[in-house]
Chain A
Amino acid sequence: MTDHVNEGFEDRAAELMAGALAGDLDAGERRELAALVEADPALRVELEQLGATVADLRRDVADWREETPSDALRARVLGATTDAPVPQPAQQRRARAPRRRSFWAPAACFAGGVLVTAAGFVVAPGLQDGPPQGPPGTLGAVEALALDGGPGAVDGASIDASLVAHTWGTETVLEIEGLPVGEGYDVVLIGPDGQEYDSGSFLASAVTIDCRMNAAVMRADVERLEIRQDDGAVVTAATLPDAVEQG
C-alpha cells in the first residue's frame, strides 16, 4: 500500500482484502474494495501477491499442528551444550587418540571414529585425572553398572555401561561390541514409578562403539537402565542401587 494512506484506511483496506482472499465479502464490501483498488493500483498488486501466497500455502502445507515442546527438551538442550568436563569410566581412562565431535547430532557416539546416531549429547573433552568419587548419585562420579542379559540378548556381544550423575540429568556411558551391525537400539532409563526417560539410540557397528547419552532425569530418580532392540526386546539391563540426592 502507498505511504500516504493513514492507519485507519490501511486497516480497512487490509480487512477488505483479507475478506476478498477468503471469498467472504458481501456486495457492499466488494464495491468498497473495488473503489479502493481503483484509487490505489498498489492495492491490486498486493492483492494479487497475497492471492499467490495463499495458493502456495495451500499447495505446500496440508495442515498445521500447534504443539509445544516438552519440558524435558530444555534440560536436554542445556545438558548437550555445556563445556563442563565429563569424566571417563575408570576402565576407559587410558591413553587414546583425541576424539573429534560428530558432525551429526546430539550424538556423542563413535564407532572407530564413525558416527553413530543418538538423541543425547555431551561434549567429550580431555580426560580427567581425578574424577569425583562417591556413592551412586555423586555428581560427576562414574558409577559402573552390572548388566544382565534380557530376552533380546545377543551371543558374543559385549556391553559395558556406566552412569554419571549431573546437575541437569543422568549421563549413560557405553562401550559396545558384537551387536548385529546396522541394527538399531534404544537406551532407556526407568524411574521407580515405571516412567521411562529416553537417553538416545545407536546403530550397532563392526567396530567398538564408545557412546555417551543423556536423559533429563536425576540419577536419584532412576531405578533401572535398559538397552532395547527396535522391537522393544531388552538386550541387556541393570537394576540400580539407591542413589544419594544432590544438586
Chain B
Amino acid sequence: MVTLAGLRAVPHAPDDDGDDRLDAAADVAPRHPIAFDVADAYDSHAREIFGFALNAVRDRGTAEDCVQETFVRAWRARDRFDVTRGGVRTWLFAIARNVVKDSYRRGERIPEPVDDGSFPEVAGAGPTDPVERLAMTQALATLSEEHREAVVAVHLVGVGYPELSERLGVPVATLRTRTFYGLRALRRHLEQQEGTR
C-alpha cells in the first residue's frame, strides 16, 4: 500500500497517451505504476491546482475546465505514473502546467504583466517569458495558505508587517518568519521546476 494520497500499488499496465514528462520518464527508468484514486487525489490537491489555474488563466470557468482536464489526463495516464519519480502532487502539477499552456494556445491568451504602478521596478523590466510567469504562479500556488498569505500581502500587495499583524491578529515576528519560509519554499520550487523543464 502506498501512503501518498490518491494512490495504491497495482500491477503494471500498458502505456496510454499522457503528458510529455511521463513519456520522457517512461524511457529512462522502470516503472512502478499505481492505481490512481481520483477522488482521493482531487480532495488532496484540487484546491491548489485550481489556485494555480485561476491565477494563470484569470477566469474561474476556464480554471475549472483546466482542473477537470488535469484530472482527466491523469486518469487516462494513470497506468504510467511512477511513484518513484515523484509524488502525485508533483505529477498533477506537471499535467496542469501543460493543460494551462494548451489553454493559452487555444485562446491565444498569453497573459501580459499588468503594470498598475504598484511596482515601479517592474515597469522597466518589460514583458517576461510566459513560461517563467507560469512557473512563478505554480510555485506560489504550492505554498501553504499561511505562507502564501504573508508573501502575497507583503511583497505583492505591499502591506507592511505592522498593518498585516493588526489585520490578522498574528505577531509581526510570526509573519516575518512565515514570509521567510514562504519565499524560501518559492525559490526551491522554482529550482525544482527548472530541473524538470
Contact = CB atoms under 8 A, between A and B. Distances in A.
Interface of A: 11, 14-19, 21-22, 24, 46, 49-50, 53-70, 73-74, 76-78, 80-81, 101, 103-106, 117, 119, 121, 198
B8 interface: no
Contacts of A119: 65, 68
Given A77-B42, A106-B72, A60 B55 contact: no
Contact of B173 (A15, A67, A101, A103): A15
Contact of B55 (A65, A69, A198): A65
Pairs A-B, 8 closest by C-beta atoms = A60-B136, A62-B114, A14-B180, A18-B176, A18-B180, A81-B75, A69-B50, A60-B133
Contacts of A76: 64, 68
A134 B76 CA distance: 32
Nearest to B130: A60
B17 A58 contact: no
A66 B51 contact: yes
A81 B76 CA distance: 8
Nearest to B46: A69
B156 A61 contact: yes
Contact of A58 (B46, B50, B65, B156): B156
Interface of B: 17, 38-39, 42-43, 46-47, 50-51, 54-55, 58, 60-61, 63-65, 67-69, 71-72, 75-76, 102, 106, 113-114, 116, 119, 121-122, 125, 128, 132-133, 135-137, 140, 145, 148-149, 151-152, 154-157, 160-161, 173, 176-177, 179-181, 183-184, 186-187, 190
Contacts, number: 158
Contacts of B119: 58-59
Given A56-B136, A62-B114, A73-B46, 12 more contacts: A18-B176, A21-B179, A53-B186, A57-B183, A61-B136, A63-B152, A63-B156, A67-B54, A68-B50, A69-B67, A77-B67, A121-B68
B67 A57 contact: no
A96 to B, nearest CB: 22
A60 B38 contact: no
Contacts of B72: 77, 80-81, 105-106, 121
A188 B129 CA distance: 37
B176 A62 contact: no
B42 A74 contact: yes
Of B65, B102, B133, B156, the most chain A CB neighbours within 10 A belong to B65
Contact of A78 (B38, B54, B136, B186): B38
A54 B50 contact: no
Given A50-B187, A103-B17, A64 B154 contact: no
A18 B54 CA distance: 28
Nearest to B119: A58
B130 to A, nearest CB: 10
A125 to B, nearest CB: 13
A53 B194 CA distance: 14
Contact of A50 (B51, B133, B136, B184): B184
Contacts of B132: 56, 60
Given A50-B183, A60-B128, A70 B177 contact: no
A14 B176 contact: yes
A69 B61 CA distance: 10
A2 B122 CA distance: 33
B16 to A, nearest CB: 9
Nearest to A52: B187
Contacts of B128: 59-60
A119 B67 CA distance: 11
A119 B177 CA distance: 42
Nearest to A69: B50
